[in-house]
Chain A
Amino acid sequence: MVAARRASRRRYVLVIIVLTALTLITLDTRHGRTGVVGALGRAAHTVVGPVERAVDSVTSPISDWWHGLVSASHLRSENRGLKEQISQLQGKEHNADIAIAEDGELKRILGLLNILQVKSVTGTVVNSDLGNFDSTLEIDRGTESGIRKNMTAVAPDGLVGQVIDAWHGGAKIRVLTDPLFKVGITTLGGHGALPAEALASGQQPPSSDLTATFQAPATVHVGDLVKTAPTSVMFPPGVPVGRISNLTTEPGGLDATITPFVDIGSLQHVTVLLWVYGQTPVVYSTTTTSTTTTTTTTTVPGATTTTVFGATTTTIAGNTTTSVGHG
């Protein structure tokens, strides 16, 4: 009798636990980490953050030392090669500086967003891939530095991913090779070919490349560079993404494999652009004058607006976000 009652109680406890877990799974799948659950997760990260930073500060030197020990000869030859590359790059840098200055001037005149002018915060990578099915990075800068969900993360080489959560003292970034990651991309065009746009995403199963399908009659080639598209909703345009490494012809288009410029595994620092599309309510109004100049006015609560060379520049919390086109 007692044994039967105990067994009944066990089953009751199990049923309660299973139902609770299933409810949580359903809520999280449908609504994401919002409300109390989201706050709990951020609180947990805030508590564990100092431990993660401490562990990283201990393991990084050990890891570097071990790596140096087991690959000393390789490092010497790599060092020689890198010195040669530096001297070559220093020569190119002067030309690049001139091109960047010209690009910035043209964008300013045309009223386009220049990602080099967007405020940014650089953080150290303190952790990565917490579980066996996560493709994320954690950095040691968070909401205290202005980092918010959906901001773009970059490295000197190009796009790294997108911030999916931020808390005081840290932020989590979904890397661009994650199967859930998606970004609008464009080729550069040129040599008679128009730029081709597509939606790129991480591969399933996860790999170090992205995949994208260019609709016919797009002209793309292996080796073409791709960057974030001007029509991209979630990312600022013009951020380098990678290079097309493989193309296969499919009915209706071309399936492309894109090798990212950024080596996710070796990242030590990540820069977050403090820019979010549609961060605050935006009201667009368009006026066409008799001189065929079209002016788009962007009204954002709390924003400041300045006019330079006929182009209107709106600044939201220090970020240049939008302005004017001439028709």
Chain B
Amino acid sequence: MKTIRLLALVGVLVVVQVAVFPHLRVLGVVPDLGLLVALAVGYYEGPEAGALIGFVAGLAYDLFLETPLGLNALTYALIGYGIGVLQGGLLRAPRWLPSFLGAAAGLVGGLIFIAVAVLVGVDSVKGTHAVVTISLAAVYDAVLAPFVFFLVARVLGRETRTRDAWSTNPG
């Protein structure tokens, strides 16, 4: 049941991503809602769930883009897995953690995206322009991350507030 609710959330967020956020560009960039879902799921549920949900969210988003199919799926899956591995070592979980993770994931995910895209010959992601774009998108991700963490926590039936400082277990 939890999986179905998560997949429904992914579907809704992908529709919002492709239908709404192109109208809400900030400095010419759109955020990566799928990346943030993978991040939140990886954070709450661990690396396996983070990778799987990231792959599904990325693949759904890829269907609408001109960049190679699977590029976002790979990026989101790696981010979801990575945060799932790292969250076990977190000693503190302050309120600003989702924003910090959103920015960091946006930046790292963007770099993975660019690296793989360049390897397969996507010309439009080359140069400093691409790095500026992913940096701005990472800031946008940071702003939206608390909302996405909140939604994912509600869907998973978790505590909706970010955990207090000095907690040793994020779950």
Binding site for B on A (CB under 8 A): 9-10, 13-14, 17-18, 20-29, 33, 37, 40-41, 44-45, 48, 51-52, 54-56, 59, 63, 127-136, 164, 172, 174, 178-180, 204-206
Contacts and interface: CB of A to CB of B under 8 A. Distances in A.
A24 B60 CA distance: 13
B139 to A, nearest CB: 13
A131 B61 CA distance: 9
A59 B19 CA distance: 11
Contacts of A172: 66
Contact of B55 (A21, A45, A180): A21
A127 B17 CA distance: 12
Interface of B: 15, 18-20, 22-23, 25, 29-30, 46-48, 51-52, 55, 58-61, 63-71, 73-74, 77-78, 81, 116-117, 120-130, 133-134, 137
B161 to A, nearest CB: 28
Given A10-B48, A41-B63, A41-B64, A128 B22 contact: yes
A interface, over-half SS = helix
Nearest to A43: B63
Contacts of B127: 204-205
A210 to B, nearest CB: 15
Nearest to B23: A59
A28 B69 contact: yes
A14 B111 CA distance: 19
A128 B22 CA distance: 7
Contacts of B20: 55
A22 B15 contact: no
Contact of B22 (A22, A25, A129, A179): A129
24 contacts: A10-B81, A13-B48, A18-B77, A23-B70, A24-B59, A24-B70, A28-B68, A37-B69, A41-B63, A45-B64, A48-B18, A51-B19, A54-B19, A56-B23, A130-B64, A131-B30, A131-B61, A132-B133, A133-B117, A133-B124, A136-B66, A174-B66, A179-B124, A205-B130
Nearest to B128: A205
A25 B74 contact: yes
A26 B48 CA distance: 24
